[in-house]
Amino acid sequence: MGTLERVFHSVLFEVLAVSMSIAGLALFTDHEVSSLSGTMITIASIAMVWNYIFNMAFDRIVKGEKEKRTFSTRIIHVGLFEAGLLFFTIPVMAYILKISLWDAFILDLGVTIFITIYAFVFNLSYDHLRAFYLKNKVAKKASLAHSISS
């Protein structure tokens, strides 16, 4: 996966995650949507940078075709990513929402549980859709080349 695709992957992931997180937090907390939006956009920005760095490192360590990764590899991937992200986001959430670190931890934990499930489904879907797209792209090029040479 090249840099442009990594950026696309991260942005698509975060846009969907932020939208769903704001809606969920608005339902379960007393915070204003504007405060939640600012918080989640800030956290998403942190997450995008972390996503790029973490996934680049993870892909260098875990070799092979992504769509063939095992269930346990995907669980480890999501768990390590989210644990690392919590380290950065709890203080930010506490500061922006003007809540204690403990309250931020509890709130962020709820978001993390949601995002962990979302990340698993998103990345599994993305990897398989990507493989399908690339396979069809190669097939179309081969078909076009065959048509031209005939």
Rounded mean pLDDT, 18-43: 91
Predicted local distance difference test score (pLDDT) of residue 47: 84
Predicted local distance difference test score (pLDDT) of residue 62: 86
How many CB atoms neighbour CB 2 within 10 A? 7
- Answer whether residue 91 shows pLDDT above 90: yes
Predicted local distance difference test score (pLDDT) of residue 150: 64
**In percent, how much of the chain has pLDDT > 90?**
42
Rounded mean pLDDT, 124-128: 92
Rounded mean pLDDT, 59-72: 85
Under 8 Å between Cβ of 141 and 103: no
- Answer whether residue 83 shows pLDDT above 70: yes
Predicted local distance difference test score (pLDDT) of residue 80: 92
Q: Is 100 exposed, middle or buried (0-12, 13-18, 19+ CB in 10 A)?
A: exposed
